[in-house]
Amino acid sequence: MKLTEVLNQVQNQNKALLAANFYNLETCKGIVKASSKLNQPIILQLTPGSISYMGLKTAVSIARNVPIEENALTYLHLDHCNDIVLVKSCLDEGFDSIMIDASDKNIDDNILITRQVVKLAESYKVNVEAELGYVPKPNNEIENDKFTEPADVKRFTEETGITSLAIAIGSKHGFYKGEPKLDIVRLKEIRKITNAYLVLHGASGIPADILREAISNGITKVNVATDTKDLFMKSLKDIMKNSDDIDLRNVFPLAINEIQKMIEQKIKIVSMID
Report the candidate in 135, 133, 109 with the shortest Cα–Cα distance to residue 190.
Answer: 133
Smaller CB separation from ligand 13P, 203 or 214: 203
Q: How far is CA 243 from CA 202, 235, 249, 250, in A?
A: 33, 12, 13, 11
- 46-77 burial, b at 16+ Cβ within 10 Å, e below that, comes to bbbebbeebebeebbebbeebbeebebebbbb
Check binding of 263 to ligand 13P (CB under 6 A). Answer: no
Part in contact with ligand 13P (CB under 6 A); list of ranges 33-41, 88-96, 220-228, 233-241: 220-228
Using CB under 6 A, which of 202, 218, 259, 262 touches ligand 13P? 202
Using CB under 6 A, which of 3, 41, 62, 79 touches ligand 13P? 79
Check binding of 266 to ligand 13P (CB under 6 A). Answer: no
Check binding of 4 to ligand 13P (CB under 6 A). Answer: no
Check binding of 20 to ligand 13P (CB under 6 A). Answer: no
**Distance, CA of 61 to CA of 86 (rounded, Å):** 17
Q: Which of residues 98-157 bind ligand 13P (CB under 6 A)?
A: none
Smaller CB separation from ligand 13P, 133 or 253: 133
Dihedral sign from CA coordinates of 23, 67, 31, 12 = positive
Number of residues that bind ligand 13P (CB under 6 A): 14
Check binding of 74 to ligand 13P (CB under 6 A). Answer: no
Check binding of 225 to ligand 13P (CB under 6 A). Answer: yes
Part in contact with ligand 13P (CB under 6 A); list of ranges 61-69, 122-130, 224-232, 240-248: 224-232
List all residues 6 or more positions away from 100 whose beta carbon is below 8 Å from its beta carbon.
Answer: 81, 82, 84, 87, 113, 114, 117, 128, 129, 130
SS (H, E, C) 130-155: EEECCCCCCCCCCCHHHCCCHHHHHH
Tell me if residue 152 is catalytic.
no
Active site residues: 79
Provide the binding-site residues for ligand 13P, judged by CB under 6 A.
Answer: 21, 79-80, 173-174, 201-204, 223-227
